[in-house]
Structure 1
Amino acid sequence: MQRQSNIELLRIISILMIVIHHVLVHGIYNAVNNSTLHFIDSFVIYGVNIFLLISGYFTINLKWKSVINLFWICSFWKLFHLFYETYIVKVPHSLFEWIAKPLAIPFSSGGWFVDIYILLLLLSPALNMALTRMNKKELSLTILLISIFNIVYCWGVGRENNTSGYSLYHFVYMYCIGFYLKSSSFSYKYPYFGIVICSIFTFILYLVLGGRAFSYNSPFVIIGAICIFTALNKVNIQSRIINITAQSVLSIYLLSDGGLFSKNMYQLYNEIIKTSANTVVGNLKIAGIVFGICIFAILLDRIRIIIFKKGIYPFSEYISYKYYHKIYHK
């Protein structure tokens, strides 16, 4: 099945939004914390929610190959960070760590997003079964009830331990909305206007509530993500370059936000802002470094993909064949 380049472009946009948000929060804010940067942040806070909407729109098809591939991506970048820390910044790691960390992906992928997404992946068969059995009215009622819990109870009232959307139930919530968008053919008439309005209201909320305005379960962050998804879903494009690049979006995330590598980069961004003649020059330098990191992740990921296609997946298929052959031919 040929990939839809508009959705693949949306994946790329979502990961770039996540990267920019992290650069701002973990890097630049530590040096210059002003309203202009928070205004920019209000336009890029949608990345995580967009990614979850895509998952729900197309539904996660839990297959052996996709599970092995996800674990291999996480393991590959665990190995990269171990290599960087051991041989570049000279932080020693024992042989046990070199073996255990890449194999501990189901329990610790190295980032909260992937940890929770793995849980969503494992939950997806039951979730898909429940959603497909609902009619439109039942699905609408379910989303309304989850909205009350996730937005009003968790984000609005703050009566849950995790009030910012860093949770499995928020992931399930966005997945359900994505499924609803597909099943109901729902779309905003003026999505670009919605994006601007949601971003402005997010910034206004920041001036009143502070960082809570950038929570993933904020109503404006949710609606803004839906607007962006709707806008790109209408675009009819087909590009091999976009499709190939989109294969590496998770790798970009795992490189740019993992281990000492990301901490060193954030410290570098901090120093660049502090030592630059003006903020514009500093931001341009940071943008160049971030672009270079993304290109590096995409190029290195081609090696990861080749290893998977030529080695890991055929080997896993062979082991699987031998196992079932042994079970059913005793």
Structure 2
Amino acid sequence: MTIKVRQSNFELLRILCMLGVVTNHVLQICYPQLHSADFSLANDMRVLLMCMSITGVNCFIMISGYFRIRQSWKGFFNLYTQCVFYMLILTTLSFLFLDGTAMDIGKKTIFALTGSGYWFMVAYFALFLFAPLLNIAFEYQNQRQRLLSLIALLIIDVYIGYMHQAPEISIGGYSAIHFFVIYYLGMYISSVKILKIGGGKWLLFSILMVVMHAVKILFPPFAIVFSMRYNSPAVMVASILFFCWAREWKMQSKMVNWVSSSVLSVYIIHMGPFGSHIFFTPLKWMASHLNAWGACSGMVAFTLIFYAACIVIDKIRITVCSPLNNWLVRKATCFMNHIDSCLLKKSV
């Protein structure tokens, strides 16, 4: 029996992707001048950082496509109980100390995957449910059919959805449809040998994106090529470059694998009802009260400490939830076995 070893280069990519998501949220909330005609060096550096971090969501989903989502009760309950655990704590704290309601505690905890207000979790749960169909379709296609399917999906997502702003598809990539496309893109990359990308090409393209950003500010119609949307053409190219570069990294680390298994907690906590208040309030204060270098160093330090704290908290969550997850998996498996046996008897 072959034991699968987690590839630490992709686990490190997962860590960086979530750090990119958090960084992008910090920049968007604390620096509204990012989208203004401010071409100072400080703002250009912030725009560059945003252009580098905007690829986080796409690459995170691309990893799922690269390795395939294997639907299972264990995977479902691991995802569900993680959301339930944090929603119960965060909504309760919000009710006690902020403006949360008792209704939120029940609604957002029970419907943690679909009613918590996390667009990412809703889209990812839809991907989890739909992934087996994408896997089957991909496996039954030859390489030419895979390429044609990928082109068709990109036309739907990027051309119709983003460039023509069709709300029926996905204007900004905040949808399950975009996740389906990115997932398929990850599968396609796993099936082909691509020339070495290197970090230099990704960095140069990120710098080019800063130029695109300036052009868009001065000439808004240029947004058809670039904007801070997950399915804009420039962001899609940057995501592919970064992902392919990460595929070339050579490393193996138990610590990286250990941290990577808990990165989703960072997203859930820092965007949660109470967690967002704890996270963004100090950052906003730094951005408005400190000079550029003081704010930069303080925000970086606080973000990294918060990130590390979320990882530690999630390890506690895993210890608490593991027995419950195992029990739920056993019960669900027994129930499905019972259903299968009943159907088998009826067919006989």
**Match for residue 127 of structure 1?**
134
Q: Could you tell me how far 1:291 is from its partner in structure 2?
A: 1.3
Counterpart check, 1:86 vs 2:95: yes
**Match for residue 3 of structure 1?**
6
**Match for residue 145 of structure 2?**
138
Partner deviation per Cα, 1:58-95 (whole Å, 9 max, x = no partner): 011011100000011111111221233134x244532x
Return the alpha-carbon distance in structure 1 between the equivalents of residues 153 and 337 of structure 2.
Answer: 45
Partner deviation per Cα, 1:229-264 (whole Å, 9 max, x = no partner): 111211221111100000111001111122243145
Partner deviation per Cα, 1:9-42 (whole Å, 9 max, x = no partner): 0100100000000000022337997432222211
**Change over 3 Å in CA distance of 1:322–1:128 after alignment to 2:** closer
Return the alpha-carbon distance in structure 2 between the equivalents of residues 159 and 168 of structure 1.
Answer: 15
Preserved contact between residue 31 and residue 273 of structure 1 (Cα < 8 Å): no
Counterpart check, 1:320 vs 2:328: no
User: Where has structure 1 moved over 4 Å in runs of 4 or more?
Assistant: 30-34, 324-327
Aligned length: 325
Equivalent residues in 2 for 1:39-188, closer than 5 Å: 39-87=48-96, 89-91=97-99, 93-94=101-102, 96-160=103-167, 162-185=170-193, 187-188=194-195
**Change over 3 Å in CA distance of 1:194–1:109 after alignment to 2:** farther
Preserved contact between residue 120 and residue 172 of structure 1 (Cα < 8 Å): yes
**Match for residue 243 of structure 2?**
229
Return the alpha-carbon distance in structure 2 between the equivalents of residues 148 and 135 of structure 1.
Answer: 20
**Match for residue 21 of structure 1?**
24
Structure 1 gap ranges (5+)? none
**Change over 3 Å in CA distance of 1:3–1:220 after alignment to 2:** same
Preserved contact between residue 18 and residue 44 of structure 1 (Cα < 8 Å): yes
* Partner secondary structure for residue 164 of structure 1: coil
How large is the Cα RMSD of the aligned pairs? 2.3
Q: Could you tell me how far 1:326 is from its partner in structure 2?
A: 5.4
Return the alpha-carbon distance in structure 1 between the equivalents of residues 164 and 333 of structure 2.
Answer: 52
Q: Higher relative contact order at CA 8 Å, sep ≥6: structure 1 or structure 2?
A: 1
Normalising by the residue count of structure 2, what TM-score does the alignment of the two structures yield?
0.86
**Match for residue 189 of structure 1?**
196
Preserved contact between residue 31 and residue 274 of structure 1 (Cα < 8 Å): no
Return the alpha-carbon distance in structure 1 between the equivalents of residues 238 and 100 of structure 2.
Answer: 44
Q: Could you tell me how far 1:315 is from its partner in structure 2?
A: 1.6
Identity %: 26
Return the alpha-carbon distance in structure 2 between the equivalents of residues 204 and 83 of structure 1.
Answer: 45
Partner deviation per Cα, 1:282-304 (whole Å, 9 max, x = no partner): 11111121112111111110111
Return the alpha-carbon distance in structure 1 between the equivalents of residues 208 and 68 of structure 2.
Answer: 30
Structure 2 gap ranges (5+)? 218-222
Q: Could you tell me how far 1:224 is from its partner in structure 2?
A: 1.4
Return the alpha-carbon distance in structure 1 between the equivalents of residues 183 and 25 of structure 2.
Answer: 23
Q: Could you tell me how far 1:204 is from its partner in structure 2?
A: 2.2
Return the alpha-carbon distance in structure 1 between the equivalents of residues 166 and 330 of structure 2.
Answer: 50
**Change over 3 Å in CA distance of 1:264–1:299 after alignment to 2:** closer
Q: Could you tell me how far 1:45 is from its partner in structure 2?
A: 0.8
Residue from 296, 299, 303 that aligns with 2:309? 296
Preserved contact between residue 73 and residue 329 of structure 2 (Cα < 8 Å): no
**Change over 3 Å in CA distance of 1:191–1:217 after alignment to 2:** farther
Return the alpha-carbon distance in structure 2 between the equivalents of residues 203 and 125 of structure 1.
Answer: 38
Preserved contact between residue 154 and residue 160 of structure 1 (Cα < 8 Å): yes
Return the alpha-carbon distance in structure 2 between the equivalents of residues 207 and 8 of structure 1.
Answer: 34
Normalising by the residue count of structure 1, what TM-score does the alignment of the two structures yield?
0.90
Preserved contact between residue 71 and residue 105 of structure 1 (Cα < 8 Å): yes
Structure 2 counterpart of 1:279, one-letter code: A
Preserved contact between residue 198 and residue 221 of structure 1 (Cα < 8 Å): no
Structure 1 counterpart of 2:244, one-letter code: T
